[in-house]
Amino acid sequence: MANVGFIGLGTMGAPMASHLLDGGHQVTTATQFAPAPKELLDKGLQTVDTNKAVSEKCDVIISIVPDTPQVEYVLFGENGAAEALGAGKIFVDMSSISPIATKEFAAKVNETGAEYLDAPVSGGEVGAKAASLTIMVGGPQDTFNKVMPLFELMGKNITLVGGNGDGQTTKVANQIIVALNIQAVGEALLFASKAGADPAKVREALMGGFASSKILEVHGERMIKRTFDPGFRIELHQKDLNLALQNGKAMGLSLPNTATAQEMFNACAAHGGKAWDHSALVRALEIMSNHEIASAST
């Protein structure tokens, strides 16, 4: 049994921590910003006052929070987790944040004598609840091996990509692919619908061919059925594509299709949709075309 700290019990973190509890581990969280979920307390979740206290009590500390500034605060803010890190402890950040900042955070954590893994995830709320997340890890092999039993309780496809920062780089690449696929599926179903075909039947046919994908399967259905409750919020995908575009600019890369997908998300946000599921990117396309995909099948 491991003594695990878990900071960030939101849409993703709560089910992930629940799996650790179900696996027989002792899990502790901090209540300095939000109360712990009752369903986790009922499973035996322990609480302390601060992130520092989590580090004092636990050997492995996991964080999954919205963005780079929040990870920095968890580690280095007032009563931050880094204040109680040292030899024998491991900090695992499962948030999706800047690869460049991640390398800086890892170096500071290593200076305390502790070890660091960046381990962002893909699979959304569904994957978190099903313990089927893809986990992309950056850090030393021996540290990865130590944490692997915990990863296996939360995910299925678990890969050590390289050193610190490489996990976050992989997640940014993942988010580029996902966004562009959502846009492609949206455009295809919008085209089919406007042409008078039943988009549900079109999707069914495409699922048996080379165009088949998880995005077509899951988000194509969302587009047709108009189920845009998150899921994974547009505002979070905007954050991830900002990382792609900012880091791409720093490296002298041109990412034109990523930029276009970001503009589609921006348009959705401008229409009040920042909290929509990211499959609702199609709404920006529909607004421009004055046509909804579902209209041909209702």
Q: What does DSSP assign to residue 233?
A: B
Going by pLDDT thresholds of 50, 70 and 90, the confidence category of residue 88 is very high
Distances (CA, A) of 113 to 87, 109, 140: 4, 7, 14
For 262-298, how does the pLDDT look when each residue is reduced to its tens digit (9 = 90+)?
A: 999 999 999 999 999 999 999 999 999 999 997 554 4
CA count, 13 A, side-chain hemisphere, 237:
36
Catalytic residue among 171, 201, 214, 239: 171
- Helix spans in the chain (H): 13-22, 38-41, 51-57, 68-76, 99-111, 124-130, 141-154, 166-194, 199-206, 214, 220-225, 234-250, 256-270, 281-289
Question: Mind listing the pLDDT tens digit for each residue in 139-154?
Answer: 999 999 999 999 999 9
- Mean pLDDT value of segment 2-12: 94
pLDDT at 297: 44
> What average pLDDT does the segment 163-182 reach?
97
Asked whether residue 23 carries a pLDDT value surpassing 80, the answer given is yes
201 included as an active-site residue: no
187 pLDDT exceeds 90?
Answer: yes
Instruction: State mean pLDDT over 88-114.
Output: 97
pLDDT for 230 equals: 87
CA distances from 297 to 68, 201, 223, 275 (A): 42, 9, 12, 26
User: Measured between alpha carbons, how far is residue 110 from residues 94, 139, 150, 167, 214 in Å?
Assistant: 17, 11, 21, 17, 38
The two three-digit tokens of residue 151, written as one number:
């990863």
Q: How much is the pTM?
A: 0.89
The predicted pLDDT at position 32 comes to 83
Which range, of 28-32, 140-144, 230-234, averages the lowest pLDDT? 230-234
Tell me, what's the pLDDT at 180?
98
What percent of the chain clears pLDDT 90, i.e. is strictly above it?
A: 93
